[in-house]
Structure formats: C-alpha cells, structure tokens
A and B are shown apart, each in its own frame.
Chain A
Amino acid sequence: MSGVGLDPRTAPTFPMAAKTMLGDTQLRKNVRHATDVIQAKRARVVAEMPDWQQLREAGKQIRQHTMEHLDFYLEEFEANCTRAGGVVHWARDAEEARRIIVGLVKASGSDEVIKIKSMTTEEIQLNSALEAAGIHPFETDLAELIIQLGEDRPSHIVVPALHKNRQQIREIFQKKMNLPELGERPQDLADAARMFLREKFLRVKTGVSGANFLIAETGGVCVVESEGNGRMCLTLPETLITVAGIDKVVPRFQDLEVLLQLLPRSATGERMNPYNSIWTGVNAADGPRTFHVVLMDNARTEILADEEGRQTLNCIRCAACQNACPVYRQTGGHAYGSVYAGPIGAILTPQLQEMKHAQSLPYASSLCGACYEVCPVKINIPEVLIHLRNKVVKQNTAGVAGFFDVEASAMKAMAMIFRSERRFRAAQRLGRVAEGPLVHKDGRGEGWIGWLPGMLGGWTQVRDLQEMPKETFRDWWEKRAANGR
C-alpha cells in the first residue's frame, strides 16, 4: 500500500520540512544527481531546435487561448468524446471525483485496478479512497511502483522516485517481491518489475489513467509515457477510467504539433518519449469496451478567476522548473508538503488549496528566474510567486495596519517588476548591487546570503541563499549570441 499522500492541509510548513530534508545528505545527493542528468539532456535536445523560442511562444498562446474559451472547448470535447462512445463525467472537487471513480470501478465488477502514473490521481489521493472501498490499486509505472511498495510518496512530477538510489530500490523490491537474490544493476531491478507487473496487466480488468491532453476537436485523449505500462493500462483492460483536470484540454489535433515537441524535450530530455497514445472513445476491436472520462475542477476555476494567477493553468507538467530550481535541488520534493513540488508546486498548491493552506510555499523560492527560463509554455513563475506572496500578506493582515503594509507594498512593487521583462532585468542587475551588504563568502569563495529582510527571512532562517551570479543567464546568453557563439 502506498503511504498517506502528501496533504497540504496537514503537512508541516516548507521551512520546517526543508530543514529536515537538508539534513538528509543521501536524499540531497540522489536529487542532485538526477536533476543534473535531466538538465544536461534537456539542454542538449533543446539546443538542437532552432525554433525553440517560437515553439514556446506558440505553446503559451495555445494554452492562453484555451483558458479564455475553456467552457467552449470542454463542451466540444464532451460532445465529441460522447459521440465516439466515451462517457463524460464532471466533478466539482476531489471528493466528487473520488466518488465517481470508486463508483465506476465497482460497476466494472473488479476489486483491482491497474494505474498509470498520474499526478491528478495523487492530487485527489485516489489510492486511499480505492483502498477504503476494498479496491486494490496497482501502480504500474516503475517509479510509482517503487513509491507504492516502499510506502513512500512521490517527490517529482515526472520522475517521482528520483530521491531513491538503486540500493534503496533493491531493498524495497527484495522485501516486497520476495526476491532475496535480486541483483542491484538497474536492469535487474527493471526486469523484476516487468515480471511482477506483467501478470497484473494480463489479469486485471479495469484501468485508471490521467491524461496529458484532451483534444476538443476530436474528443480524443493523449497520454505520453516511456515504459509501455501506460499502453498496457489503456489497451488491455475491459474498462478504462481517465481522470483529468479541466485545464488539460487543447483546441485542436494540430495543436499537438507544438505540445508534443515542447513536452518530451522539457520533461525527460528526449526528442520524443518512447510512446504517445491517442485514442478516441471506444473501438470494438481495439482496447477497452467501456471508457469514462472524469473532468475535474478542484479549484482550477478559482485559479482561472485570478487574473495574475491564471497562467498557472497553462502548465503541461513537464517538471523542467523543478529540475532547474536551486531550492528544489537542495530540499527534494517532500518538503513542499504537496504532490506538486518545486516552482510549479509553489504556485499551484496554495491556489489549489484556495490559499487556505500551504501559505509558506510562495516563499520557497529564491526568485532567481531559472524556472521561467526553462518553462516550455513561458509561465512567469516568479511573477505568480510575488502575486501570491502579496495575497498571503493580505490574508494574514486583513484589518491590521502598520508594518505589514510596508511588506505588502513592497510585494506590489516586486509584482510590477516581474510583469515586465525590461524591469525584471534591471532589477536583477540592481539586486546584485543591493544584496552586497548581505553576502558573506564561504571557504570556497562562493557568496552566500545568511539573512534576508522581512518575510523573505522565513526562507533564510533555515537556509543560506547563494548570492546572485555575477552575470545573469540572459546577459550571458545575449553576449554569447552577439559574439556569434
């Protein structure tokens, strides 16, 4: 059974959790290694693309456009999916989504389901709900299997078990699969998982998946993956239940030409991930006979209503921002107290919680801008962070005048800076001057900031912040381009 999901309502605040994680050197080593590898791969395959910036711009516009016409595209998706033999359900919140899915599994006559890795099912803590109803969920993604057998929790959107190394994985498999002789080469571990799960794939009659994209024009659903476990869950069972946030819709089939270029290169540093599956409703001779889609809101419409926060919904869950974030790379994912970790978690989680929980997350960032640089759909995460900090301050100080007003107006000023690229650059340059008095050098001559004023102090209480690089990445990049590389 999987451990209890990460729940922002009960998780310790980020600074407290981060402090614990920082003491776990093995974890930090594992996370550092994994993110280094993905980042290097990503950089290589992105550099191959002469039109990367044009793709990012198109990706951003497609996502923005979708959100502006979201009701139209959801209804179009529903009509086309239904016409093709699918059944569409709507859920206002996690509770409702869980109830629908548990009901559908029961109606399928199965007390077991095979599952594809899906952050949405993590978000709604579906596994606990299934177990409570006497249904056994089998995770089939290798990383999710490691998490489930290890009674652990995911710590990364794309590679949920990246905080574990092979020895740790081997111990889990030896114990839970009853394989005392198991070797520790990655291939041995993958073979063990293949044996363990193949039997489930061939037996279990009901599958549960998330979705990467819902295509309004055709009613089709697209899932991208690497291992083939996704394809197993999508094609072998008799009943397939797909749950997706309402933000997953894209207008037309053609839009995949942009998103299928942006996503794999950003997520795993591959030109294309090994498998993309696109299916539309049911086909009597291919795949499940019964297909359900659950369209879930769960506070997404609240985010949509927030003018500055709504760009959060453009996210395609590639995790590039996590890999690039110096804070995430130090703490790993669990410190965020939510299934969405790293920069995207820092902005998404508090908003999914309607700003009632996880209020320390908007502070879990050094605002270095690395997340914005790598985001394939150009979500301005620093801008949203500042906006949310402002909201947190407002919520916490409603009716209290004085000191907090200064903080609030500082946040407003920063929000304004992040909205303009020109101002952002100027501020970065200024920041390197202004931070001067706060920096002290460590033994290796690297500069660290041990203390920051005001609310930013929440972060530096437990963590020294590395000083800003002498040259911003943008400055460096432009100089490099100007010199003809």
Chain B
Amino acid sequence: MGVDGSAGSARAEVLRRIRAANGGAADGVAARVAWEGVTREYRRSGTRVRELMLELLEDRLRDYDATVVRTAGGDVARSVARMLAERGVTRMVVPVGLRAEWLPSGFEFVVDEGLSAGELNGFDGVMTGATLAIAETGTVVLQNVAGQGRRAVTLVPDYHLCLVRLDDVVETVPEAMARLQGTAELATTFVSGPSATADIEMTRIKGVHGPRFLDVILID
C-alpha cells in the first residue's frame, strides 16, 4: 500500500507519541551500548558431558512419544527403513537436497519441487534433516535450506521423520540461538514434539493440525 497522507501521518504520530513519552528520540548508538549492558547471568552454555547431553535429548523427545534411535553414519538408510516400516508408511515426500544415501529402497520418495498443499496432504509422511537440536527442551530446528526445505512440507503430512547429526546437538537454548545467528533471516521452525493441544480440559492431545507423529534418528 502506498503511503497516502493518512498512513504517513499515523507513522509520524505514533513515533511522536513515543518520543514524547520517552522525553526525546532514541539514539541508535546509545541504544546499542545500553543493550550490551543488559545483565545476562543465566546459563549461556551447557555443562553436561556429551553422552549425558545426548541422553537428555533422547529423554526429552521420548517424553513426547517420539521414537528415537541412534545410528552410525553408514547405517542411516537401514534405520530409516526400519522406522518407516514400524510406522507403516510407504509414500514419503522429501525436500530438495536430502542426501540420497539416506533413502532406503522399497519406499516411494517424492522430491518436493513446489507441490501444492493439497498434494502434500496426500503423502503418508515427510523425511528431513535438521539444522540443530536442543537437548534441554527436546527441540529440533528446521530452516529453509537443502535437506530441510519449505515450512509447509514438514507441516501438512501426518508423520515427520527427522534426521539429526550428533554434531548438531546443543544442550541449551542460548547455544542454539548463537548457532542460528548467522542464518537468522532464513525461515526457521522450532519443533518440539508432535502437534499438540491442551485446550480440552487441559488433557494433552496429539496432532490437531500438524503431524501427529514425530520420530528422530540421531546420526553419529
């Protein structure tokens, strides 16, 4: 929308009111300095040894009914096959750039090249990589990059199988944000467990609108 007279004046008026309330216009340099002065005495990094951190992640994920397995780098396709068979799914969508050696035979994998929401709705599930995982909260973080793809792809199908490399696991939220800082402008989704609601008598119900099932394979 163009800046017509009234829209332009709304902007000017709101900024004027803020400056009047704050006793003058804020100065960008002063703001940066003041921001550095915010007290941040909370934990900025984890304290657990790697093995305990990974156990914490598995624990947190299982807390939300995800199946979690660990697998060696060369064995990924076999683990994927086992997981898909267990869930009884056969027709999967995958984002562009997912590593071909992760895909087992015997299943149908269709690469998303701009499928419509209706078409996505027709798949049994989706399989993606992840940018990182946060152990303390049981979260996987997805971004719009090769192997992770568009936001809609991990949303519409009913099942999500997510592959996470152990090197990409951090313990705390601040560590995760520090890693994401460089790519902060990419579309980013934090996923913690399957879609859920507690709107009916505070009973946790899985899968209202997003995937009802989430599984994770941790790759060594």
Contacts and interface: CB of A to CB of B under 8 A. Distances in A.
Interface of A: 30, 33-34, 37-38, 50-51, 54-55, 57-58, 61-62, 65, 67-76, 84, 87, 89-92, 96, 100, 103-104, 107, 140-143, 146, 159, 161-162, 165-166, 169, 186-187, 189-190, 193-194, 197-198, 201-202, 215, 217-220, 226-229, 231-232, 234-236, 246, 251-254, 256-258, 260-261, 268, 270-280, 283, 285-287, 292, 295, 297, 301-302, 304-305, 310
Contact of A297 (B14, B177, B205): B14
B34 A69 contact: yes
Given A89-B1, A107-B1, 19 more contacts: A51-B42, A54-B40, A54-B43, A57-B41, A103-B1, A104-B1, A161-B199, A197-B209, A226-B195, A228-B195, A229-B209, A235-B155, A236-B117, A277-B187, A286-B150, A286-B151, A287-B152, A287-B187, A302-B17
B42 A55 contact: yes
Best-buried of B10, B196, B200 by chain A (most CB within 10 Å): B200
Contacts of B13: 92
A256 B177 contact: yes
Interface residues of B, number: 75
A137 to B, nearest CB: 17
Given A51-B41, A51-B43, A257 B210 contact: no
A165 B201 contact: yes
B205 A253 contact: no
Interface in B185-220: 185-203, 205, 207-211
B125 interface: no
17 contacts: A58-B38, A65-B38, A72-B27, A84-B185, A186-B205, A190-B205, A227-B196, A235-B155, A256-B177, A261-B42, A271-B60, A272-B134, A277-B188, A278-B184, A280-B187, A286-B151, A286-B187
A165 B138 CA distance: 30
B151 A272 contact: no
Given A229-B208, A260-B173, A278-B187, A201 B117 contact: yes
B178 interface: yes
Given A71-B22, A256-B177, A166 B200 contact: yes
A96 B14 CA distance: 12
Contacts of A187: 205
Secondary structure of the A contact surface, majority rule: helix
A294 to B, nearest CB: 10
B34 A65 contact: yes
B88 interface: no
B10 A68 contact: no
Nearest to B209: A228
Contact of A275 (B17, B25, B184, B195): B195
B144 interface: yes
A136 B27 CA distance: 44
B5 interface: no
The CB with the most chain A CB atoms within 10 A, among B28, B121, B137, B187, is that of B187
Interface in B1-27: 1, 7, 10-11, 13-15, 17-22, 25-27
A87 B117 CA distance: 25
B151 A227 contact: no
A277 B117 contact: no
Given A235-B151, A271-B60, A271-B137, A33 B201 contact: yes
B36 to A, nearest CB: 10
B136 interface: yes
Nearest to B8: A90
A187 B150 CA distance: 29
Given A228-B208, A229-B209, A254-B178, A61 B192 contact: no
A227 B38 contact: no
A271 B138 contact: yes
B105 interface: no
Contact of A71 (B19, B193, B210): B19
B14 A274 contact: no
A257 B45 CA distance: 11
Contacts of A162: 199, 202
A70 B28 CA distance: 11
Contacts of B190: 260, 272, 275-277
A256 B173 CA distance: 9
A285 B209 contact: no
Contact of B25 (A61, A71, A258): A71
A333 B206 CA distance: 27
Given A166-B200, A227-B209, A301-B18, A257 B174 contact: yes
Contacts of B77: none
Nearest to A261: B173
Contacts of B180: 253
B47 to A, nearest CB: 10
Contacts of A279: 151, 187-188
